[in-house]
Amino acid sequence: MDKFAKTISYIFNGIFISIPIFLVICFIVVENKIEAVGWASLCILFGIIIPYIYIYFLYKKKRISDIHIPKKEDRIKPLIVSFVSHVICFMILYVLKAPPFLKSIFAVGIVSTVIFTIITYFWKISIHTSWITFGVITFIILFGKWMLLLILLIPAIAWARVKTKKHTVIQVVLGAGITTATTVFVYYNYGLINFF
């Protein structure tokens, strides 16, 4: 069971799942598929590759002991780098008049990263459940109610993180809860969600 939990944790690491998420989103919201590849490449570069390169640099320099950054105090700098990278990408998307959905994604990233960075100064919170929650909400908006089945992934990944002793129950719950609130708030303000 422990091995299964570790496998789930690795498969649903934000770095890995974000690439297909960005590709799917871009191919759905951008009509021209060549342009979609371009937008996806831009999003992946600033949303995933740049933050990951920094994390890998810290790991190679032995400033962190694990790529998954288990110590909360080691997460601050990578979160700040992610924030800066997200802001730069948002500005590029704005200047290039990217589809609103893409700008909304990075708006979610900016807001969430600020909140998570502040929390991480005092307490560890689950990035795994945050990423998958964002992905699930995004896919429900893009593809409709039948994607509600993906919600089952959230407790599954939360269980895996608790089982492998990377997080407590409250840490995985708040990771999902805070991301739900920020994602819904930003998507609502971009007109992607209609409550009335």
Average of per-residue pLDDT across 7-28: 86
Ramachandran angles phi, psi of 83, nearest 5°: -60, -50
User: Tell me: the pLDDT tens digits for 91-145?
Assistant: 999 999 999 999 999 999 999 999 999 999 999 999 999 999 999 999 999 999 8
Note the pLDDT of residue 130: 95
**Confidence bin at 14 (pLDDT 50/70/90):** confident
* 8 A C-beta contact, residue 138 and residue 28: no
**What distance in Å separates the CA atoms of residue 24 and residue 118, rounded to the nearest whole number?**
31
* Global pTM value: 0.92
The neighbour count for residue 156, using CB atoms within 10 Å, is: 13
